[in-house]
Amino acid sequence: MGVYTKTGDEGKTSLYTGERVEKCSLRVRTYGTVDEADSALAMARAFSQNAEVKKKLFTLQKLMPMLMADLASIGQEPMIQMEQVEALERQMDEIEAALDDSNVSRYAEYLHKLTRDTQFIVITHRRGTMEQVDRLYGITMQEKGVSTLVSVNLIDKELDD
């Protein structure tokens, strides 16, 4: 059984707002990345032996549908509130504080080696981790209630070396 929207394909898809965009657009690719991150969180939670880690992973998983909705409706009132973002940032800071700079760099380098076969999404504030990535994504809210997706491609750094 197929699902048909009767809108034609032409390499485009409709957003929540009704806007038609290329299927390879940053926003559509970000949906896929967030979906993959949600799957990775589920796997990590399934394999974790630590109850505290499982609880934190479940908290993150519960935010993923809201993040998807926020991405789908950029420019509208966000579902994820600043208090939730700040709480997540505090958790990330606690986890990252336990790592010294050399371990952050070793971890980032290890992930970079694995990218030949796997794509990763890493949420971090650590410079050592960000220096190892090919692309940075962020969401900024310069105007209250209006989210903007930002992407910086860093792959060219390898071409300059």
Interval 23-69: pLDDT, tens: 888 888 888 888 888 888 888 888 878 788 788 888 888 888 888 88
pTM: 0.54
Question: Could you tell me which of 24, 26, 33 has the C-alpha nearest to residue 123?
Answer: 33
Tokens of 43: 């796997």
| Positive or negative torsion for Cα 14, 18, 22, 24 | negative
Question: Could you tell me which of 156, 149, 23 has the C-alpha nearest to residue 78?
Answer: 149
Give a yes or no: residue 103 inside a domain: yes
Q: What's the pLDDT score for residue 23?
A: 86
Give a yes or no: residue 4 inside a domain: no
**Is the predicted pLDDT of residue 132 greater than 80, yes or no?**
no
Question: Tell me, what CATH number does 99's domain have?
Answer: 1.20.1200
- The total of structural domains in the chain comes to 1
Q: What's the pLDDT score for residue 113?
A: 74
Tokens of 15: 């957003």
What is the domain extent for residue 102? 13-160
CA distance 110 to 51: 26
Interval 79-127: pLDDT, tens: 888 888 788 777 767 766 666 777 777 777 777 777 776 677 777 777 7
Q: Identity (one letter) of the amino acid at 95?
A: I
Give a yes or no: residue 44 inside a domain: yes
| Positive or negative torsion for Cα 49, 55, 60, 66 | positive
